[in-house]
Structure 1
Amino acid sequence: SNLATQIQTVQNNQNVAISKIINLATQVQTVQNNQNVAISKISNLATQVQTVQNNQNVAISNISNLATQVQTVQNNQNVAISKISNLATQVQTVQNNQNVAISNISNLATHIKTV
């Protein structure tokens, strides 16, 4: 009877141990599942970060290109302003020459009248 009791006690202890092992295995599986979810989220976040960096690089390139275009426009404007200034100088020279010619013609007409 004592042996049967001892055997029953051992079996009970084994059943408790098996139950604890099963519970522990379940907890380990849960941890692994949570780790897999975390790894997936980290991977997705890394992909999003890379996308943001790529978009930033594109934006920087676009801004750089736009700045180059603005500089080109400013250079062209400066050239145009210089050409307009030169043209205005030429117009002024023509007007001065016309005024001199008119004065010379007037003086000549006066001289012819007196002669």
Structure 2
Amino acid sequence: MSNIEEIHKQTLLEGRSALLRTNASLEQTQKSALEAEEIGTSVIQELDSQRETLLRARDRLVNTDYELSRSRQLLRMAQNTVLANKILLILIIIMEVFILCSIIYLKYLRK
């Protein structure tokens, strides 16, 4: 009987050893899972921060595009105004030259 008890005892020791190894393996797996969860959480937080940064950048870009369109429109209006002023100035100069020529003709050449 002692042989059976010894085998039984040996089997129990092996089972206990297997349980301890399994327990250690489960603890290591749980530790790895917690580390992976922490890494995942920090990655999600970083991605959320980057998302907010990208959204702000997109909003600034849309705003800048609107402002550029408005600036182009204002520049076009200013360019048209400058062109109209140049044409008006040329017409005034032509009229002055015509008046001057008329005065010279009437005063000196008509006599």
TM range (shorter): 0.7 to 0.9
TM-score, structure 2 as length reference: 0.77
Of 17, 20, 36, 2:19 maps to 17
Of 45, 61, 64, 1:62 maps to 64
**Residues 35-74 of structure 1 correspond to what in structure 2 (within 5 A)?**
35-74=37-76
Identity %: 15
Unpaired runs of 5+ residues, structure 2, are none
Render the CA deviation track for 1:23-58: whole Å, top value 9, x for unaligned: 123212212311321231232023113212312321
Shift of 1:72: 0.8
1:79 alignment partner AA: T
SS in 2 for 1:87: helix
- Rounded to whole Å, the distance in 2 between the matches of 1:42 and 1:107 is 94
Q: RMSD in angstroms over aligned alpha carbons?
A: 2.2
Count of residue pairs brought into register by the alignment: 109
